[in-house]
Amino acid sequence: MMTNMDTLKKELKYVQETLIRSIQAISRVSMSESKSEQVIDKRLGDILDTVESACVTARCVIDRYRIMKPFSENGKKEKIISKVAGEIEVTAEGWLHIKLNTLLPNCRYKTNSYIQDTLTRLLEECDKPLPMFDKAFLAIVEYCDYDNREVYDQDNKSWKMIPNAIKGRVVKDDEQFRLDIGLFSKISDTPACHIYVIPQTQLSEFMNYLSNDLL
């Protein structure tokens, strides 16, 4: 029978293989003599895909074998991902608020599994019961400026992984009559993406907070 160490080595070999694929994707670009913008663009996308896949794979494998402290000094469960990738809270109003320490990627890339994995982990780590709304408004607020922004046009931003992550956890369904969605931008020299899930009945209150920079 395989020991835990035997199983770990086997799974780490798979992590190693995904990392090798990432290095190979980078090498294909750095060694390429192609002048085609389409070819280079495709290969750059391959780098992002493989690096993201390697990161999510490593997260899933390594977390199963790490020694987890059940409680920290302040009595809360230890959090690994949230300290690095974002924060989550249930506000005094009963709204769900998630802060991601990154901006949304371009929708032409397939690379959003890392963000969806981060969202899922943050939701699972929340130290308060998550609200459950029958009908909700999903507000995605990006903070950036003209220098640090990454995707200029709202319709080019990849956000579909967000309703996928909250479906069944915070809102019963993400079909059009149960979940409304808004995408907003605010000027800030510190890039971040803030996600709010609120009941539809409190939309006017949220918009007042947003317009007056009270969030």
Q: How many CB atoms lie within 10 A of CB 2?
A: 9
d(C-alpha 120, C-alpha 201), whole Å: 26
Q: Which strands form 192-199's sheet, in the order they lie side by side?
A: 86-90, 96-100, 192-199, 136-144, 179-187
Distances (CA, A) of 210 to 59, 66, 92, 155: 34, 40, 16, 21
d(C-alpha 64, C-alpha 46), whole Å: 28
C-beta of residue 182 within 8 angstroms of C-beta of residue 140: yes
Q: What is the pLDDT of residue 202?
A: 96
Per-residue pLDDT of the chain (215 residues), as tens digits, is: 345 788 888 888 888 988 898 899 899 888 888 888 888 888 888 888 888 778 877 877 776 776 654 434 443 444 444 444 789 999 999 999 999 988 888 776 555 677 888 898 899 889 899 999 999 999 999 999 998 887 889 988 889 989 999 999 999 999 999 999 999 999 999 999 999 999 999 999 999 999 999 99
Length in residues, the chain: 215
d(C-alpha 33, C-alpha 157), whole Å: 31
Residues 6+ apart with CB under 8 A from 148: 189, 191
pTM value? 0.69
Residues 6+ apart with CB under 8 A from 203: 137, 180
